[in-house]
C-alpha cells in the first residue's frame, strides 16, 4: 500500500532516479537504471519499479519512454512531471516527407502534462525562419508537433513545399481551395495543393532557448 517503507535497495533505485531527473530534467531509461544498479536483466528493473509504484514512491505512464514521476507528500516539494522523448525531424521533401523522420536531427524531452500530448503521436521540428514571428514562432524555436496529414482551418502546420520545410497557418477557403499564410503581411500566401505540398503535423507547443 502507498507509504510502505522502502527496502535499502529500493531506496537506492529511487535516489538514482531523483538524481538523474535533477541533472537531466527527465527520467532515466530502463537500460540506464539497469546499468546504474548493476543488474543483469531488464526484468529486474521492471520488478524494482513495480515495487516502487506499489509503495507509492513513483508513478509510471504506460507506453511512454522515460515516463517516471516521483511522488512526494511534502508541501515544499512538488512531484516530478512525466516527460517523453521525441525526435527532431531532419531534411525531407513534399515527394518524400518520411525521409525527415528516418533521418532525425536529434531528440528532445517534452513535459507531457504541460503540452497535453494525451498519447498522440508527436515529433519536434526546428522553426526555419521568422515568417510566423507575429504568431509567436521565431527562427530556431523547437516546435512540438502532432503528427497529422490533415488540419482544420486556422491550424498552424508544419509542411514540406518542394524540398523546403515551412511553418504556416492553414486557411481553408470554401470546399475546394486553401492557402498557407505567414503571420507577416509582407509575405504572400502560398496556395495549398496536396500534389505539391505535404502537411506532416500540427503545431501544439513551442520551446525556446533564452
Beta-carbon contacts of 96 under 8 Å, excluding residues fewer than 6 positions away, are none
* CA-based torsion, 97, 101, 103, 105: positive or negative: positive
Model confidence over 5-59: pLDDT tens digits?
A: 888 888 889 888 888 877 777 788 888 898 988 888 889 999 999 999 888 888 8
Give percent of the chain above pLDDT 70: 87
Three-state secondary-structure class, residue 72: coil
Hey, which CATH number is domain 85-207, 2.30.40.10, 3.30.1490.270, 2.10.109.10, 3.40.50.970?
Answer: 2.10.109.10
DSSP assignments along 16-65, one per residue: HHHHHHHHHSSPPPHHHHHHHHT-S-HHHHHHHHHHHHHTTSEEE-TT-T
The pTM score is 0.63
CATH value of 8-81 in 1.10.3470.10, 3.40.710.10, 1.20.1280.50, 1.10.10.10 = 1.10.10.10
113-137 pLDDT, tens digit per residue, is: 677 666 678 899 999 999 999 999 9
Percentage with pLDDT > 90 across the chain: 39
CB-CB contact of 180 with 192 (8 Å)? yes
Cα atoms in the Cβ-side hemisphere of radius 13 Å centred on 126: 16
In the chain, where are the structural domains located? Answer: 8-81, 85-207
Mean pLDDT over all residues of the chain? 84
Which string of DSSP letters, residue by residue, matches 184-198? STTSPPEE--TTTEE
What is the pLDDT at residue 83? 67
Whether 145 shows a pLDDT value over 90: the answer reads yes
Amino acid at each position: 500500500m502507498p507509504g510502505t517503507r522502502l527496502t535499502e535497495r529500493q531506496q537506492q533505485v529511487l535516489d538514482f532516479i531523483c538524481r538523474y531527473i535533477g541533472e537531466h530534467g527527465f527520467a532515466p531509461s530502463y537500460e540506464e537504471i539497469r546499468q546504474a544498479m548493476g543488474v543483469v536483466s531488464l526484468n529486474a528493473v521492471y520488478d524494482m519499479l513495480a515495487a516502487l509504484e506499489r509503495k507509492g514512491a513513483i508513478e509510471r505512464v504506460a507506453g511512454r519512454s522515460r515516463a517516471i514521476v516521483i511522488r512526494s507528500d511534502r508541501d515544499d516539494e512538488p512531484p516530478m512531471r512525466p516527460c517523453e522523448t521525441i525526435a527532431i525531424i531532419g531534411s525531407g521533401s513534399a515527394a518524400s516527407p518520411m525521409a525527415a523522420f528516418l533521418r532525425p536531427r536529434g531528440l528532445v524531452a517534452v513535459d507531457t502534462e504541460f503540452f497535453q500530448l494525451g498519447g498522440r503521436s508527436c515529433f519536434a521540428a526546428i522553426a526555419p525562419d521568422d515568417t510566423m514571428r507575429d504568431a509567436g514562432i521565431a527562427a530556431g524555436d523547437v516546435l512540438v508537433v502532432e503528427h497529422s496529414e490533415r488540419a482544420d482551418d486556422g491550424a498552424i502546420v508544419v509542411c514540406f513545399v518542394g524540398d523546403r520545410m515551412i511553418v504556416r497557418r492553414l486557411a481553408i477557403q470554401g470546399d475546394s481551395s486553401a492557402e498557407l499564410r505567414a503571420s507577416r503581411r509582407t509575405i504572400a500566401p502560398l496556395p495549398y495543393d496536396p500534389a505539391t505540398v505535404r502537411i506532416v503535423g500540427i503545431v501544439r507547443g513551442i520551446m525556446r532557448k533564452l
